[in-house]
Amino acid sequence: MRTEEARPIRLEDYRPPDWLVETVELDVALDPTATRVRAALTLKPGSNGAAPAPLVLDGEGLILKSLMLDGAAVPAEQYVATSDRLTIAQPPPRAFRLEIETEIDPSANTQLLGLYRSGRIYCTQCEAEGFRRITYFPDRPDVMAVYTTRIEADKTDAPVLLANGNLVEAGDVPGSGRHFAVWHDPFPKPSYLFALVGGNLACVEDRFRTMSGRDVTLRIYVEPGKEPRCVHAMDSLKRAMRWDETAFGREYDLDIFMIVAVSDFNMGAMENKGLNVFNDKYVLASPETATDNDYERIEAIIAHEYFHNWTGNRITCRDWFQLCLKEGLTVFRDQEFSADERSRAVERISDVRGLRAHQFVEDAGPLAHPVRPALYHEINNFYTATVYEKGAEVVRMLKTLLGPDNFRKGMDLYFARHDGEAATVEQFVQCFADVSGTELAQFMRWYSQAGTPEVIAAGRYDARTRTYRLEVVQSLPPTPGQPSKEPMVIPLAVGLVGRDGRDLPLTLADGRPLARGVLTVKQPSETFEFADIGEAPVPSLNRGFSAPIKLVANLTADDLRFLAARDCDPFNRWQAVQTLATRLLVDNVAALRAGGAAHRDAGLLDALAAILDDGALDPAFVALALTLPGEADIAREIGRDVDPDAVFAARAALRAVVGEHLAGALFDHYRRLSEARPYRPDAAGVARRALRNACLDLLVATRRPDAISLAARQYQVADNMTDRAAALATLSLYDVPERAAALDDFYARYRGDPLIVDKWFTLQAAIPEPATLDRVKALTAHSAFSFANPNRVRSLISAFAMANQKEFNRADGAGYDFVTETVLALDPKNPQLAARLLSALKSWRVLEPTRRALAQAALRRVAAAPALSPDVRDIVARTLGED
């Protein structure tokens, strides 16, 4: 276990490294329990002052076997080696070569950080601080070196040996059953991007010709037999490579690009230079095994990791505080790729739904932190929705504020100016300031101030002066460590919609047209005036979700219905329906809690009916509009004293009302979309299935017998996983006999396939009934379940804690007890996984008093447990707000 000295780490304490590493020669002899690592480093003093500093190398759980400096053994009195540090107090004040031999046990590595075994495959995960678990090293991203890696292993145990870069040599080790491979990566990189893999892997190969005409070999390595499931991943990779050339002018730079899929992985995937390592969930897909949603995630994650080659690898982060520099930017890039490949509107709506469900919740609770935190105890806990998703929104706002041309120029300058460097957020933003001549000092607050800005907008039309005045007031709530805030720069895309549904021309009071329809709000309170407006318009604000804010506008239900039907901005058409539904649900929750009945609203129903009736709309958009806000969305809107049972009841009742009211149209659409067509995961096919399954889901919500048999039939006859899983998901929400039969059938069909059995776990964890907790507990003893595999834990236990608001938040606290006990059991083995699971309790303060007290007590029991990992200790302390 790591020691906790020298924490917290603060951004303001950053100092350039005392020692730099120019080259690393690694020689790794793989063995299941005793892997020998020889590292030869060429070190040179950093530019950090004249006096030679001690050399302090990071380690974690290492055993030093030997140490040589410039070819001679270092005398014992000249160094100190502990399991987590190697110090040479007086190294020579010049460049020198240090040879370090350590021994590690990959089979004992249950943290899945450093060198570990996934099944029989050897693989590494070095971000953020895993390289120090392989050898002693200055394990920080601003130390960039050129790596040569020799791997040696038993030929039958590990016939495939891979590392970063290009293969330079391979062969047998004479007189043994072993062989070796030598890989060289010419691009200097930080240690977190190092990777090696060894094992019995099958491979699918393809080629890509880059825009300058270079041929690149593409390989995806998987468990033998899984090759046919790599088609979509390979296709996604080639499309991502082409897109990066066209959209950003970025070309791939090595002769080979490899992806390896492993089944034990803490996150989604990792962008190691030239050798991406993936959670197999995000590689493997076939129509029979993966849903449309899986296909989309695979495409997005393959693209994300590939795009890191420029945003993260060629230009990396100076320190871990700059994590959003690579992650926010790369998420922005993968979202843009998906928008170009599929429907831009649907992609935007999905991204915003995700942002609100995860990042807004994070921002509103005790784990809120800025996009660029100023302090951390454990960096593993900062791979968050705020750094990733809000980080992407911040990049998008730069584009919205400066326009697409200046944005592209700024990106080009960033690549030209900082290639090969470890950069900062300031350096990134400076590139945009330089190309556009715009002052971006106030914009930097998006990186430093946590919390979701709240914007109240009120518009008034004056027929006499033909002017429309929009008053905008912004505020930013306090967050941990930040009691008061400064005003933000908010790009607010607006339209004024006339009676005929067309946008009125936007002319500012000084006679200039409003550039690109974007107002720039900078003051706590500001009024914008539009001239020459001939009729009373309906304002459409924050179009395309131009800023990640919580917007309150003085729109009536009639205005919202009008926007839902007529706004030319598809995002705001969807938003108008969501706002109508949210207002109604919040009212209904209050009514239910007061002992009254929920009321139905013809307004929402009419708006939905109109959307369902609009044949010009993309079916994927219609499906999103039909999906009512989730329980977590409603809870977020209520904001305090939340009763999850009432929230569930209000939502379930409204879904039934919608299903009943629109039944005719829903059945019609369902039938119309049912004609047999071969499965294709393209935008049109995805959209068709999404709408058909959304119709089915609302019909089943009524519990009409004809709807339930329709779902049971779809389950049986489906020729693809999307339709089968959707039918099962909708059935499994209700206690009907068809549910048990379908769940049993599903397991019997797919029992040999862990990734599909994960879906089975997740569906059961989501059942909104009191028996679910016992069901989940029983499933932890199922032969297909394992606490050692992160995918299994997430599909069952995280799904219960995060996707089943009602049962996780049981009024007796048993949900909290189960999850926190699981956290404590997992922590000694896999602290990262345990800490993430614990973050499911981050919204405990908004609950009604009984549950709040029970959640707090469960958290306190975690805090009081002995020997917590730094990961869990950090999350529990911040969640309780007692650190």
Contacts with ligand 0A1 by CB under 6 A lie at 125, 127, 266-271, 304-305, 327, 383
CA distances from 209 to 167, 168, 236 (A): 19, 21, 15
Closest contact distance (angstroms) between CB of 311 and Zn ion is 9
CA distances from 130 to 46, 140, 299, 383, 663 (A): 23, 10, 27, 15, 55
Report the residue number, 111 or 424, with the smaller CB distance to ligand 0A1.
111
Closest contact distance (angstroms) between CB of 192 and ligand 0A1 is 8
Report the residue number, 311 or 400, with the smaller CB distance to ligand 0A1.
311
Report the residue number, 270 or 773, with the smaller CB distance to ligand 0A1.
270
Report the residue number, 271 or 645, with the smaller CB distance to ligand 0A1.
271
- The type of residue at 550 is K
Report the residue number, 327 or 807, with the smaller CB distance to Zn ion.
327
- 400's contact among ligand 0A1, Zn ion, none, with CB below 5 to 8 A by partner kind, is none
CA distances from 605 to 432, 527, 571, 618, 839 (A): 46, 35, 19, 19, 36
Closest contact distance (angstroms) between CB of 825 and ligand 0A1 is 20
- 645's contact among ligand 0A1, Zn ion, none, with CB below 5 to 8 A by partner kind, is none
Q: Which residues of 151-173 are buried (b: 16+ CB within 10 A; e: fewer)?
A: bbbbeebbebbbbbbeeeeeeee
> Residues near 828 by Cβ (< 8 Å), separated by ≥ 6?
867, 869
Tokens 């518009």 correspond to 459
- 383's contact among Zn ion, ligand 0A1, none, with CB below 5 to 8 A by partner kind, is ligand 0A1
- 269's contact among ligand 0A1, Zn ion, none, with CB below 5 to 8 A by partner kind, is ligand 0A1
Closest contact distance (angstroms) between CB of 127 and ligand 0A1 is 4
Closest contact distance (angstroms) between CB of 307 and ligand 0A1 is 10
Closest contact distance (angstroms) between CB of 260 and Zn ion is 17
Comparing every residue's Cβ against ligand 0A1, the nearest one is 267
Report the residue number, 1 or 536, with the smaller CB distance to ligand 0A1.
1
- Is the bond leading into 864 cis (omega within 30 degrees of zero)? no
* Cβ-contact 880, 400 below 8 angstroms: no
Q: What x-and-dash track marks residues 327-346 binding Zn ion by CB under 5 A?
A: x--x----------------
The tokens for 565 are 């039907």
Give the active site residues.
Answer: 305
* Closest C-alpha among 500, 501, 590 to residue 540: 501
Report the residue number, 323 or 649, with the smaller CB distance to Zn ion.
323
Report the residue number, 262 or 497, with the smaller CB distance to ligand 0A1.
262
* Closest C-alpha among 266, 254, 271, 253 to residue 192: 271
Closest contact distance (angstroms) between CB of 113 and ligand 0A1 is 6
- 29's contact among Zn ion, ligand 0A1, none, with CB below 5 to 8 A by partner kind, is none
Write out the H or E segment, with its range, that includes residue 491. strand 490-497
* DSSP assignments along 45-108, one per residue: E-SS-SSPPPEEEE-SS-EEEEEEETTEEPPGGGEEEETTEEEESS--SS-EEEEEEEEE-GGG
According to DSSP, residue 129 is labeled T
Starting at the edge strand that comes first in sequence, how are the strands of the sheet with 215-222 ordered?
202-209, 215-222, 256-262, 275-279, 269-270
Starting at the edge strand that comes first in sequence, how are the strands of the sheet with 79-82 ordered?
55-58, 85-88, 79-82
Q: Which residues of 803-838 are buried (b: 16+ CB within 10 A; e: fewer)?
A: bbbbbbbbeebbbbbbbbebbbebbeebbbbbbbbb
Q: How many residues bind Zn ion (CB under 5 A)?
A: 2
Report the residue number, 381 or 809, with the smaller CB distance to ligand 0A1.
381
Number of other residues whose CB lies within 10 A of the CB of residue 529 = 16
* Cβ-contact 727, 761 below 8 angstroms: no
Closest contact distance (angstroms) between CB of 473 and Zn ion is 36
The tokens for 732 are 């499994």
- 267's contact among Zn ion, ligand 0A1, none, with CB below 5 to 8 A by partner kind, is ligand 0A1
Closest contact distance (angstroms) between CB of 233 and Zn ion is 17
Beta strands in 79-201 (DSSP E): 79-82, 85-88, 96-104, 114-118, 121-125, 145-154, 160-163, 166-172, 178-189, 196-199
- 879's contact among Zn ion, ligand 0A1, none, with CB below 5 to 8 A by partner kind, is none
* DSSP assignments along 257-315, one per residue: EEEEEES--SSSEE--TTEEEEEGGGT---TTT--HHHHHHHHHHHHHHHHTTTBTTTB
Q: 3-state DSSP call for residue 676? A: coil
- 334's contact among ligand 0A1, Zn ion, none, with CB below 5 to 8 A by partner kind, is none
Closest contact distance (angstroms) between CB of 829 and ligand 0A1 is 14
Closest contact distance (angstroms) between CB of 671 and ligand 0A1 is 42
- Is the bond leading into 186 cis (omega within 30 degrees of zero)? no
Report the residue number, 307 or 648, with the smaller CB distance to ligand 0A1.
307
Q: How many residues does the chain have?
A: 883
The tokens for 241 are 């490579």
Backbone angles phi, psi at 758, to 5 degrees: -55, -40
Report the residue number, 271 or 827, with the smaller CB distance to ligand 0A1.
271
Q: What x-and-dash track marks residues 299-328 binding Zn ion by CB under 5 A?
A: ----------------------------x-
Report d(CA 478, CA 496) in Å as an integer: 33
Binding positions for Zn ion, rule: CB under 5 A: 327, 330
